[in-house]
Protein backbone atom coordinates (compact mmCIF):
# COMPACT_ATOMS: atom_id res chain seq x y z
CA UNK A 1 0.00 0.00 0.00
CA UNK A 2 1.04 3.57 -0.66
CA UNK A 3 -0.21 6.56 1.35
CA UNK A 4 0.42 10.19 0.35
CA UNK A 5 -0.46 12.86 2.92
CA UNK A 6 -0.93 16.40 1.64
CA UNK A 7 -0.12 18.85 4.42
CA UNK A 8 1.33 22.26 5.22
CA UNK A 9 3.23 20.77 8.18
CA UNK A 10 5.14 17.65 7.04
CA UNK A 11 7.47 17.79 10.07
CA UNK A 12 4.54 16.79 12.30
CA UNK A 13 4.79 13.28 10.81
CA UNK A 14 8.48 12.61 11.48
CA UNK A 15 7.93 11.03 14.91
CA UNK A 16 4.80 9.22 13.74
CA UNK A 17 6.64 7.48 10.89
CA UNK A 18 9.78 6.66 12.88
CA UNK A 19 8.34 4.82 15.87
CA UNK A 20 6.67 1.53 16.74
CA UNK A 21 4.55 -0.51 14.33
CA UNK A 22 4.40 2.18 11.63
CA UNK A 23 8.20 2.32 11.37
CA UNK A 24 8.42 -1.48 11.23
CA UNK A 25 5.76 -1.63 8.50
CA UNK A 26 7.69 0.96 6.46
CA UNK A 27 11.02 -0.82 6.98
CA UNK A 28 9.50 -4.15 5.93
CA UNK A 29 7.98 -2.46 2.85
CA UNK A 30 4.41 -3.31 3.87
CA UNK A 31 3.51 0.34 3.29
CA UNK A 32 5.02 3.48 1.79
CA UNK A 33 4.06 6.76 3.46
CA UNK A 34 5.00 10.10 1.92
CA UNK A 35 4.20 13.65 2.99
CA UNK A 36 3.60 16.27 0.31
CA UNK A 37 3.77 19.95 1.22
CA UNK A 38 1.19 21.52 -1.04
CA UNK A 39 2.74 24.93 -0.39
CA UNK A 40 5.45 23.80 -2.83
CA UNK A 41 2.81 23.87 -5.57
CA UNK A 42 1.72 27.48 -4.98
CA UNK A 43 2.45 29.59 -8.09
CA UNK A 44 2.34 33.04 -6.52
CA UNK A 45 5.48 34.93 -5.53
CA UNK A 46 5.12 34.41 -1.78
CA UNK A 47 3.99 30.73 -1.94
CA UNK A 48 0.64 31.73 -0.48
CA UNK A 49 -1.94 28.91 -0.18
CA UNK A 50 -4.86 30.72 1.47
CA UNK A 51 -6.91 33.88 1.01
CA UNK A 52 -9.88 35.75 2.48
CA UNK A 53 -13.35 34.29 1.81
CA UNK A 54 -15.69 35.81 -0.76
CA UNK A 55 -18.71 37.39 0.93
CA UNK A 56 -16.67 38.33 3.99
CA UNK A 57 -16.13 36.53 7.25
CA UNK A 58 -13.31 35.70 9.61
CA UNK A 59 -10.36 33.40 8.92
CA UNK A 60 -8.55 32.31 5.80
CA UNK A 61 -9.61 29.73 3.22
CA UNK A 62 -7.32 27.25 1.44
CA UNK A 63 -7.09 27.97 -2.29
CA UNK A 64 -7.85 25.49 -5.08
CA UNK A 65 -4.74 25.72 -7.25
CA UNK A 66 -2.02 24.44 -4.88
CA UNK A 67 -4.14 21.49 -3.71
CA UNK A 68 -5.39 20.56 -7.19
CA UNK A 69 -1.81 20.52 -8.51
CA UNK A 70 -0.48 18.60 -5.50
CA UNK A 71 -3.15 15.90 -5.95
CA UNK A 72 -2.43 15.69 -9.69
CA UNK A 73 1.27 15.14 -8.96
CA UNK A 74 0.64 11.89 -7.03
CA UNK A 75 -2.72 10.65 -8.28
CA UNK A 76 -3.02 7.51 -10.44
CA UNK A 77 -5.92 5.41 -11.73
CA UNK A 78 -5.79 3.34 -8.53
CA UNK A 79 -5.76 6.29 -6.11
CA UNK A 80 -8.52 7.11 -3.63
CA UNK A 81 -8.53 10.76 -2.50
CA UNK A 82 -9.81 11.38 1.04
CA UNK A 83 -10.58 14.84 2.39
CA UNK A 84 -10.21 15.07 6.18
CA UNK A 85 -13.10 17.28 7.18
CA UNK A 86 -15.61 17.75 10.04
CA UNK A 87 -18.34 17.36 7.41
CA UNK A 88 -17.16 13.84 6.55
CA UNK A 89 -18.61 10.51 7.58
CA UNK A 90 -17.41 9.42 11.03
CA UNK A 91 -14.45 7.06 10.92
CA UNK A 92 -14.99 3.51 12.23
CA UNK A 93 -13.28 0.13 12.38
CA UNK A 94 -15.40 -0.97 9.45
CA UNK A 95 -14.12 1.95 7.39
CA UNK A 96 -10.53 1.11 8.44
CA UNK A 97 -10.98 -2.39 6.99
CA UNK A 98 -12.38 -0.93 3.76
CA UNK A 99 -9.50 1.52 3.31
CA UNK A 100 -6.91 -1.16 4.10
CA UNK A 101 -7.94 -2.89 0.84
CA UNK A 102 -6.99 0.16 -1.28
CA UNK A 103 -3.69 0.27 -3.18
CA UNK A 104 -3.12 4.02 -2.93
CA UNK A 105 -4.63 6.55 -0.53
CA UNK A 106 -4.23 10.32 -0.71
CA UNK A 107 -5.18 12.25 2.44
CA UNK A 108 -5.73 16.01 2.23
CA UNK A 109 -5.15 17.80 5.55
CA UNK A 110 -7.03 21.04 5.94
CA UNK A 111 -6.00 24.04 7.99
CA UNK A 112 -7.13 27.57 8.79
CA UNK A 113 -10.86 28.31 8.33
CA UNK A 114 -11.49 25.62 5.74
CA UNK A 115 -11.31 24.63 2.07
CA UNK A 116 -12.47 26.34 -1.07
CA UNK A 117 -15.65 24.36 -1.76
CA UNK A 118 -14.39 23.36 -5.23
CA UNK A 119 -11.65 21.22 -3.69
CA UNK A 120 -14.32 18.69 -2.79
CA UNK A 121 -14.80 17.98 -6.51
CA UNK A 122 -11.46 16.11 -6.71
CA UNK A 123 -12.11 13.98 -3.62
CA UNK A 124 -13.64 10.49 -3.55
CA UNK A 125 -14.64 10.64 0.09
CA UNK A 126 -14.73 12.87 3.19
CA UNK A 127 -13.90 11.47 6.63
CA UNK A 128 -14.12 12.89 10.16
CA UNK A 129 -12.63 11.23 13.27
CA UNK A 130 -15.20 12.75 15.63
CA UNK A 131 -17.53 15.58 16.51
CA UNK A 132 -14.94 18.07 17.71
CA UNK A 133 -12.69 20.71 16.14
CA UNK A 134 -8.93 20.43 15.62
CA UNK A 135 -6.47 22.99 14.26
CA UNK A 136 -5.83 20.88 11.16
CA UNK A 137 -6.15 17.51 9.46
CA UNK A 138 -2.70 16.22 10.44
CA UNK A 139 -3.78 14.39 13.61
CA UNK A 140 -6.78 12.77 11.87
CA UNK A 141 -4.43 11.66 9.06
CA UNK A 142 -2.17 9.99 11.64
CA UNK A 143 -5.10 8.33 13.43
CA UNK A 144 -6.57 6.91 10.22
CA UNK A 145 -3.17 5.85 8.84
CA UNK A 146 -2.29 4.04 12.08
CA UNK A 147 -5.68 2.29 12.10
CA UNK A 148 -5.25 1.15 8.48
CA UNK A 149 -1.58 0.10 8.53
CA UNK A 150 -2.01 -2.31 11.44
CA UNK A 151 -4.62 -4.17 9.35
CA UNK A 152 -2.27 -4.76 6.41
CA UNK A 153 -1.18 -8.40 5.96
CA UNK A 154 1.99 -9.19 7.88
CA UNK A 155 2.11 -5.96 9.92
CA UNK A 156 0.72 -7.58 13.07
CA UNK A 157 -0.63 -11.04 13.80
CA UNK A 158 -4.03 -11.32 12.11
CA UNK A 159 -5.65 -12.85 15.20
CA UNK A 160 -4.73 -9.72 17.17
CA UNK A 161 -6.92 -7.41 15.13
CA UNK A 162 -9.71 -9.95 14.62
CA UNK A 163 -10.32 -9.73 18.39
CA UNK A 164 -10.10 -5.93 18.50
CA UNK A 165 -12.75 -3.74 20.07
CA UNK A 166 -15.54 -2.66 17.70
CA UNK A 167 -15.39 -5.81 15.58
CA UNK A 168 -19.01 -7.04 15.40
CA UNK A 169 -20.01 -3.87 17.31
CA UNK A 170 -18.54 -5.29 20.53
CA UNK A 171 -15.82 -4.06 22.87
CA UNK A 172 -12.87 -6.29 23.69
CA UNK A 173 -12.79 -8.81 26.54
CA UNK A 174 -10.59 -8.25 29.67
CA UNK A 175 -6.98 -9.43 29.49
CA UNK A 176 -4.49 -10.25 32.28
CA UNK A 177 -0.79 -11.08 32.65
CA UNK A 178 1.59 -11.98 35.50
CA UNK A 179 1.38 -11.94 38.48
CA UNK A 180 -1.74 -14.04 39.16
CA UNK A 181 -2.45 -12.07 42.34
CA UNK A 182 -1.72 -8.35 42.55
CA UNK A 183 -2.82 -6.48 45.69
CA UNK A 184 -5.57 -9.05 46.24
CA UNK A 185 -6.87 -8.79 42.66
CA UNK A 186 -6.91 -12.30 41.18
CA UNK A 187 -6.77 -13.46 37.58
CA UNK A 188 -10.07 -15.28 36.81
CA UNK A 189 -9.68 -19.03 37.31
CA UNK A 190 -11.11 -19.86 33.89
CA UNK A 191 -8.08 -18.24 32.21
CA UNK A 192 -5.79 -20.57 34.14
CA UNK A 193 -7.81 -23.71 33.37
CA UNK A 194 -6.27 -24.53 29.99
CA UNK A 195 -9.78 -25.28 28.68
CA UNK A 196 -9.85 -23.25 25.45
CA UNK A 197 -13.54 -23.81 24.86
CA UNK A 198 -14.43 -22.44 28.32
CA UNK A 199 -12.00 -19.53 27.86
CA UNK A 200 -13.63 -18.61 24.53
CA UNK A 201 -17.09 -18.83 26.09
CA UNK A 202 -15.96 -16.61 29.01
CA UNK A 203 -14.46 -14.04 26.63
CA UNK A 204 -17.57 -13.95 24.44
CA UNK A 205 -19.79 -13.40 27.48
CA UNK A 206 -17.48 -10.68 28.82
CA UNK A 207 -17.53 -8.85 25.47
CA UNK A 208 -21.33 -8.80 25.54
CA UNK A 209 -21.51 -7.69 29.17
CA UNK A 210 -18.85 -4.95 28.86
CA UNK A 211 -20.46 -3.57 25.69
CA UNK A 212 -23.93 -3.57 27.25
CA UNK A 213 -22.62 -1.69 30.31
CA UNK A 214 -20.17 0.77 28.71
CA UNK A 215 -21.36 1.25 25.12
CA UNK A 216 -24.98 0.11 24.71
CA UNK A 217 -25.18 2.40 21.69
CA UNK A 218 -22.99 -0.07 19.79
CA UNK A 219 -25.53 -2.82 20.39
CA UNK A 220 -28.35 -0.56 19.25
CA UNK A 221 -26.85 0.00 15.80
CA UNK A 222 -29.08 -1.11 12.95
CA UNK A 223 -27.90 -4.05 10.86
CA UNK A 224 -28.93 -5.39 7.48
CA UNK A 225 -31.31 -8.32 7.76
CA UNK A 226 -31.81 -11.38 5.59
CA UNK A 227 -35.18 -12.44 4.17
CA UNK A 228 -36.32 -13.91 7.47
CA UNK A 229 -35.55 -10.64 9.28
CA UNK A 230 -32.50 -12.07 11.03
CA UNK A 231 -28.79 -11.45 10.62
CA UNK A 232 -26.70 -14.32 11.91
CA UNK A 233 -23.06 -13.86 12.79
CA UNK A 234 -21.35 -16.81 14.51
CA UNK A 235 -23.26 -17.18 17.78
CA UNK A 236 -24.96 -13.77 17.82
CA UNK A 237 -28.32 -12.77 16.40
CA UNK A 238 -30.04 -9.49 15.63
CA UNK A 239 -33.82 -9.22 15.47
CA UNK A 240 -35.56 -6.18 14.00
CA UNK A 241 -39.07 -5.83 15.40
CA UNK A 242 -40.06 -2.24 16.23
CA UNK A 243 -43.52 -3.03 17.59
CA UNK A 244 -43.08 -5.86 20.04
CA UNK A 245 -40.38 -7.60 22.01
CA UNK A 246 -39.46 -10.66 20.01
CA UNK A 247 -37.04 -13.47 20.90
CA UNK A 248 -35.65 -15.77 18.23
CA UNK A 249 -33.08 -18.53 18.51
CA UNK A 250 -29.86 -18.57 16.52
CA UNK A 251 -28.57 -21.98 15.50
CA UNK A 252 -26.47 -23.04 18.46
CA UNK A 253 -22.81 -23.97 18.21
CA UNK A 254 -22.12 -26.68 20.79
CA UNK A 255 -23.97 -25.70 24.00
CA UNK A 256 -24.01 -21.95 23.74
CA UNK A 257 -26.46 -19.52 22.19
CA UNK A 258 -26.75 -15.77 22.45
CA UNK A 259 -29.95 -13.76 22.00
CA UNK A 260 -30.84 -10.09 21.88
CA UNK A 261 -34.28 -8.70 22.71
CA UNK A 262 -35.47 -5.73 20.64
CA UNK A 263 -38.24 -3.27 21.33
CA UNK A 264 -38.81 0.05 19.55
CA UNK A 265 -35.74 -0.62 17.39
CA UNK A 266 -33.41 -0.80 20.41
CA UNK A 267 -31.88 -3.71 22.28
CA UNK A 268 -33.38 -3.98 25.76
CA UNK A 269 -31.53 -7.07 26.96
CA UNK A 270 -28.89 -9.59 26.04
CA UNK A 271 -29.77 -13.17 26.76
CA UNK A 272 -27.44 -16.13 27.04
CA UNK A 273 -28.17 -19.84 27.26
CA UNK A 274 -26.37 -21.67 30.06
CA UNK A 275 -24.70 -18.51 31.44
CA UNK A 276 -21.83 -19.08 33.84
CA UNK A 277 -19.94 -15.86 34.26
CA UNK A 278 -22.61 -13.22 33.69
CA UNK A 279 -24.78 -12.07 36.56
CA UNK A 280 -28.23 -10.64 36.02
CA UNK A 281 -31.97 -11.21 36.36
CA UNK A 282 -33.10 -14.67 35.26
CA UNK A 283 -36.36 -15.38 33.47
CA UNK A 284 -37.87 -18.51 31.98
CA UNK A 285 -38.38 -18.53 28.21
CA UNK A 286 -41.89 -19.00 26.84
CA UNK A 287 -41.06 -19.68 23.21
CA UNK A 288 -41.33 -23.46 22.79
CA UNK A 289 -41.00 -23.18 19.00
CA UNK A 290 -37.58 -21.59 19.41
CA UNK A 291 -36.49 -23.87 22.26
CA UNK A 292 -35.62 -20.88 24.45
CA UNK A 293 -35.68 -21.90 28.09
CA UNK A 294 -33.45 -19.43 29.91
CA UNK A 295 -33.09 -15.66 29.73
CA UNK A 296 -30.56 -13.55 31.59
CA UNK A 297 -31.06 -9.76 31.58
CA UNK A 298 -27.87 -7.85 32.33
CA UNK A 299 -28.87 -4.21 31.78
CA UNK A 300 -29.64 -2.81 35.25
CA UNK A 301 -32.27 -0.27 34.21
CA UNK A 302 -34.17 -2.91 32.25
CA UNK A 303 -33.82 -5.44 35.09
CA UNK A 304 -35.49 -2.97 37.48
CA UNK A 305 -38.40 -2.44 35.06
CA UNK A 306 -38.96 -6.17 34.55
CA UNK A 307 -38.66 -6.93 38.29
CA UNK A 308 -41.14 -4.15 39.16
CA UNK A 309 -43.56 -5.41 36.52
CA UNK A 310 -43.40 -8.98 37.86
CA UNK A 311 -43.82 -7.91 41.50
CA UNK A 312 -46.80 -5.68 40.66
CA UNK A 313 -48.46 -8.61 38.92
CA UNK A 314 -48.05 -10.69 42.06
CA UNK A 315 -49.48 -7.89 44.25
CA UNK A 316 -52.44 -7.57 41.85
CA UNK A 317 -53.09 -11.31 42.21
CA UNK A 318 -52.93 -10.97 46.00
CA UNK A 319 -55.48 -8.10 45.84
CA UNK A 320 -57.77 -10.32 43.76
CA UNK A 321 -57.43 -13.13 46.35
CA UNK A 322 -58.32 -10.69 49.15
CA UNK A 323 -61.51 -9.77 47.31
CA UNK A 324 -62.38 -13.44 46.81
CA UNK A 325 -61.82 -14.09 50.54
CA UNK A 326 -64.21 -11.25 51.43
CA UNK A 327 -66.97 -12.87 49.39
CA UNK A 328 -66.19 -16.43 50.51
CA UNK A 329 -68.64 -18.35 52.68
CA UNK A 330 -65.79 -20.34 54.24
CA UNK A 331 -64.80 -17.45 56.48
CA UNK A 332 -62.02 -18.69 58.69
CA UNK A 333 -60.25 -20.90 56.17
CA UNK A 334 -60.19 -18.34 53.33
CA UNK A 335 -59.05 -15.57 55.70
CA UNK A 336 -56.25 -17.68 57.12
CA UNK A 337 -55.13 -18.80 53.65
CA UNK A 338 -54.98 -15.33 52.10
CA UNK A 339 -53.17 -13.79 55.08
CA UNK A 340 -50.63 -16.62 54.82
CA UNK A 341 -50.20 -15.90 51.11
CA UNK A 342 -49.59 -12.22 51.88
CA UNK A 343 -46.84 -13.08 54.36
CA UNK A 344 -45.24 -15.56 51.95
CA UNK A 345 -45.32 -12.98 49.15
CA UNK A 346 -43.53 -10.42 51.34
CA UNK A 347 -40.80 -12.91 52.23
CA UNK A 348 -40.41 -14.00 48.61
CA UNK A 349 -40.09 -10.40 47.37
CA UNK A 350 -37.47 -9.60 50.02
CA UNK A 351 -35.42 -12.73 49.29
CA UNK A 352 -35.76 -12.81 45.49
CA UNK A 353 -36.30 -9.25 44.25
CA UNK A 354 -34.53 -7.04 46.80
CA UNK A 355 -31.30 -6.82 44.78
CA UNK A 356 -33.16 -5.79 41.63
CA UNK A 357 -35.82 -3.38 42.93
CA UNK A 358 -33.68 -1.02 45.01
CA UNK A 359 -34.43 -0.10 48.62
CA UNK A 360 -36.92 2.66 47.78
CA UNK A 361 -39.10 0.48 45.54
CA UNK A 362 -38.83 -2.45 47.95
CA UNK A 363 -40.07 -0.33 50.87
CA UNK A 364 -43.01 0.97 48.84
CA UNK A 365 -44.08 -2.51 47.78
CA UNK A 366 -43.86 -3.99 51.31
CA UNK A 367 -45.81 -1.00 52.68
CA UNK A 368 -48.42 -1.53 49.97
CA UNK A 369 -48.85 -5.20 50.92
CA UNK A 370 -49.10 -4.28 54.62
CA UNK A 371 -51.73 -1.69 53.73
CA UNK A 372 -53.73 -4.30 51.77
CA UNK A 373 -53.53 -6.70 54.73
CA UNK A 374 -54.74 -4.01 57.17
CA UNK A 375 -57.61 -2.98 54.89
CA UNK A 376 -58.61 -6.61 54.42
CA UNK A 377 -58.61 -7.23 58.19
CA UNK A 378 -60.71 -4.07 58.77
CA UNK A 379 -63.18 -5.08 56.05
CA UNK A 380 -63.40 -8.60 57.42
CA UNK A 381 -63.96 -7.31 60.97
CA UNK A 382 -66.75 -4.98 59.79
CA UNK A 383 -68.23 -7.80 57.76
CA UNK A 384 -68.25 -10.16 60.76
CA UNK A 385 -69.68 -7.43 62.99
CA UNK A 386 -72.48 -6.79 60.49
CA UNK A 387 -73.46 -10.46 60.29
CA UNK A 388 -73.30 -10.79 64.11
CA UNK A 389 -75.77 -7.90 64.50
CA UNK A 390 -78.08 -9.48 61.92
CA UNK A 391 -78.04 -12.77 63.85
CA UNK A 392 -78.85 -10.97 67.14
CA UNK A 393 -81.78 -9.11 65.56
CA UNK A 394 -83.20 -12.31 64.10
CA UNK A 395 -83.03 -13.98 67.51
CA UNK A 396 -84.90 -11.08 69.14
CA UNK A 397 -87.66 -11.46 66.66
Residues serving a catalytic function are 86, 113, 150, 164
236 pairs with which residues across the strands?
Answer: 233
Q: Give me the long-range contacts of 167-170 (CB less than 8 A, separation at least 24).
A: 167/93, 168/233, 168/234, 168/236, 169/211, 169/218, 169/219, 169/221, 170/207, 170/208, 170/211, 170/218
- What region does 375 belong to: left with phi over 0, alpha with psi -120 to 50, or beta? alpha
CA distances from 312 to 112, 319, 347 (A): 61, 10, 15
Q: What is the DSSP string of 240-289?
A: --SSS-B--PPPPBTTB-EEEEEETTEEEEEEESS-SS---EEEE---GG
Alpha carbon distance 268, 303 (integer Å) = 9
Q: State the pairing for strand pair 230-233/236-239.
A: antiparallel
User: From CA 116, how far away is CA 52, in angstroms rounded?
Assistant: 10
Q: Answer whether 5's CB lies under 8 Å from 145's CB.
A: yes
Q: What is the separation, in whole angstroms, between the first and last Cα of the chain?
A: 111
Q: Identify the DSSP state of 223.
A: -
94: preceding bond cis by omega (within 30 degrees) = no
In terms of Cβ atoms closer than 10 Å to its own Cβ (0-12, 13-18, 19+), residue 75 is middle
Q: Which of 153, 5, 155, 154 is nearest to 79 (CA)?
A: 5
State the burial class of residue 288 (Cβ atoms within 10 Å of its Cβ: 0-12, 13-18, 19+): exposed
The span from the CA of 362 to the CA of 278, in Å, is 24
Residue 48 DSSP class: -
Of the candidates 300, 273, 130, the residue with the CA atom closest to the CA atom of residue 212? 300
Amino acid sequence: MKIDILTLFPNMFSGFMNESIIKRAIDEKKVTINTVNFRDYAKNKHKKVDDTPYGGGSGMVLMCQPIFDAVDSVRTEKSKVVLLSPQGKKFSQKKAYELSKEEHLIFICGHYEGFDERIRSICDEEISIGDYVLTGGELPAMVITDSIVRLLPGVIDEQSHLNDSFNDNLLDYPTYTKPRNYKGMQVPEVLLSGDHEKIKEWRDEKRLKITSEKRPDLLNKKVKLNKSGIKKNKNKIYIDDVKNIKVTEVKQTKKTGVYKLFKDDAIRAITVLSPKNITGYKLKGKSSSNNLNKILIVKESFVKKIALKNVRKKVDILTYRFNLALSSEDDDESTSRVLGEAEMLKQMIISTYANYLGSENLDKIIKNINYLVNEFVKAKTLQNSFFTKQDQEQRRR
